[in-house]
Every structure is written in structure tokens, then in C-alpha cells.
Amino acid sequence: MKDRVKELTKRIASLERAVAAAPPGRLKYRKRGSSYHYIQILQEHGVRQERYLPASETERIAALAQKRYDKKLLRVLKAELTALQHNKVFDAQAKFAVYEALPPPVAAFVCPVFRPAALICAEWAQGAYEPNPFQDDTQPTYQTEKGDCVRSKNEWITANKLLQAGLAYRYEAPLEVWNGKVYYPDFTIMHPKTNELYYLEVCGIMGDPDYVAHLMQKMHDYTLSGLSGRILLLFEHPAVPFDPNEIDALIRHVFGA
């Protein structure tokens, strides 16, 4: 607890300095058609003044937006510090909620001190990566609702269900395992609450002994890489058809979505 009190005290002091150094007044916005106009609200000699901020003053808009966030976060951190000093329970998620509660036109200019899991997921999903290339132009592909091209109908169904559940995923992103070998799991999914990465394999040729042997080797390497608790599998076999309801159950039980 002493370390947390020390950390909070330092963070509070830093935020107080930032607020003091920010431009005077507060930020207001008005929607005009499809865009927003930003206004600096000032109080001079007890008189309210409004100053329009053009696009050329983006830095001032951002500074005032950040000030708004910082002041709200200060209140939350001070409340947490008081709770700790009096051995009271405090909601650990409150500091993340400060950013989430900002209106989007303001949040767009803010660099949050505590980044919500949803923001991390969104940034990760939009990040660049080198997917497994399609070696054969004649191989049939299926375009998902997200716009990815996948290799099978089962993967197409899976991708669309992940997207519909609001989960951030990457298709066939590279994964280096314990021995330096690189695999391309069908789907890498970021957990919306913990930001942990899960790896989903859609195993669709279980009647092929060579495919099964390759899959077992892959599972062996995943396990030695410490990933066994985050490996998810969907199967199809000539005797057991692919069931999309399994995807729904997996999404519900693992990700709570």
C-alpha cells in the first residue's frame, strides 16, 4: 500500500503541474454539419468570454482537452489516495473510466494517462502487421465483413462472428514460438478486458493424417512457448461437421462478449 500511496502522490503532483501550465479557461465544442467547432471559454473580471479556436490552433484545442481530462483524473486519484489512507475500498477501474466518459470530440485530442482496454484493442486492431501471404493465386478466398480475405468458409464464418461480437482480431498474424519458428495462427484475438492475446485455430481437415500431424506439432510448440492457456480450437471432421454455435459459445465463455 505504501508504494501505491507514493505512486499516487507523485502522479497527483505531476497532474497538478500540468493543469497549472495549461491554457486558461475550458474547452467547449459545437457541432456544425459533419464537423466540430471548438471554443475556449474564459472568465475575465467575472465576465464570460468565448473565443473561437480555428483549425490552425489545434495545439491549443488539444491542450484544453487534455486539461479537461487531467482535472477529472485528478479528482479520481485524490479520492483513491484518500480511500487508501483510510483503508477504504475504491474502484480500481475508475481511473480508466475518466477517458471513456469523455465525449468523442474531446477524447480525440487527449493522451490518456490510463489507457482503457477498449482503446488498446482498437489501436492494436488497426496496427500494421505482415500476414501470411497467399502463395497460390488460384486458391479460393472468402472476403469477410471486415474486408479480410480468408482461406475457407469456416474461417469466413468465424471472422464474421468475431467482428459481430466486437472483438479485435488479426487474421494469420505471425507468431514466433520457443524455437524461433514462425506460425500463423488463423486468428489472433485481443481480450477486450485484459488485453491478453488468444490464438484461435480453425482446424478443418481433421480427416487428413498429415494435417493432424502438423497440427499436433504446432500444439507442441505452442505449449512449450507457454501459450497453452490461450490456445482456442474449433474442429471439423468428416464424421463431425463444423458447428457455428461453437464459435458463439467460445466467444461467450472466453471473452464474455
Residue range 144-167: average pLDDT? 96
pTM: predicted TM-score of the whole model, two decimal places: 0.79
Residues 248 and 143 both lie in one domain: yes
Contact 38, 60 (CB under 8 A): no
Q: Is residue 192 part of a domain?
A: yes
Residues 138 and 251 both lie in one domain: yes
E strand intervals along 144-192: 149-150, 168-171, 175-176, 182-183, 187-190
Q: What are the tens digits of pLDDT across the range 216-253?
A: 999 999 999 999 899 999 999 989 999 999 999 999 99
Contact 38, 55 (CB under 8 A): no
Domain boundary among 47, 80, 114: 114
Judged against a pLDDT cut of 80, whether residue 135 lies above it is answered with: no
- Domains of the chain: total: 2
Residues 65 and 164 both lie in one domain: no
Q: How far apart are CA 69 and CA 18, in angstroms?
A: 11
Q: Is residue 157 part of a domain?
A: yes
Domain boundary among 92, 114, 136: 114
Judged against a pLDDT cut of 90, whether residue 138 lies above it is answered with: no
Domain that holds residue 26: 2-114
Task: Collect all residues with Cβ–Cβ distance below 8 Å to 88 and sequence separation of at least 6.
Answer: 82
Judged against a pLDDT cut of 90, whether residue 202 lies above it is answered with: yes
